[in-house]
């Protein structure tokens, strides 16, 4: 889909097309739609992330909580499953799965939301190292870091929808 085609969509069709890029949170697309026309993929992403940035803390927390645990062997969206499989999280040994499960639980207990990591381009060792490190972070810093990863995930997902075009249009 080109940026012009995306701009031409009505609100309902726009939300249908891009509402999933922020995990189970179509409200982000609904709020970004009035900011059309978008000039580029980067502009769509910036407008959508701005809506999250300006949302209430409760809405942001709900967005974070909408994501599945990394490596979870439970139902998750197809996009999350594919992203995690790309990082090898669907092929963990029993020991790795148990360690990840324990760290995920410790993380959720400490921060109140699942560990979020934009896994594209990473492997399980990088993800494990990040999780171990981030377990020691300050809660407010970690909340902001989790949102940054949600923004990266959304960017990767938008790239699967919008045709690759120059970032800036003349």
Contact between 137 and 146 under an 8 Å Cβ cutoff? The reply is no
Measured distance between the N- and C-terminal CA atoms of the chain, rounded to whole angstroms = 19
Of 131, 113, 116, 118, the residue nearest 59 (C-alpha):
113
Q: Which residue has the tokens 């499960």?
A: 101
| Active-site annotation holds for 67 | yes
DSSP H or E segment with residue 148: helix 139-161
11-18 vs 139-161: helix crossing angle, rounded to 10: 110
CA–CA dist 163, 6 (Å, integer) = 10
Q: Which of 35, 45, 54, 67 is catalytic?
A: 67
CA–CA dist 155, 170 (Å, integer) = 22
Catalytically annotated residues: 67
């Amino acid at each position: 889909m080109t940026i012009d085609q995306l701009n031409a969509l009505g609100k309902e069709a726009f939300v249908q097309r891009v509402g999933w890029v922020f995990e189970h949170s179509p409200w982000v697309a609904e709020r970004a739609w009035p900011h059309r026309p978008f000039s580029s993929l980067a502009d769509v992403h910036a407008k959508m992330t701005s809506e999250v940035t300006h949302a209430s803390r409760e809405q942001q927390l709900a967005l974070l909580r909408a994501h599945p645990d990394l490596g979870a062997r439970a139902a998750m969206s197809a996009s999350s499953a594919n992203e995690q499989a790309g990082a090898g999280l669907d092929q963990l040994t029993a020991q790795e799965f148990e360690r990840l499960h324990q760290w995920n639980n410790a993380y959720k207990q400490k921060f109140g939301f699942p560990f979020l990591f934009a896994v594209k381009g990473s492997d399980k060792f990088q993800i494990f190292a990040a999780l171990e490190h981030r377990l020691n972070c300050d809660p407010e810093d970690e909340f902001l870091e989790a949102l940054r990863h949600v923004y990266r995930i959304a960017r990767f997902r938008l790239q699967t929808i919008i045709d690759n075009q120059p970032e800036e249009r003349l």
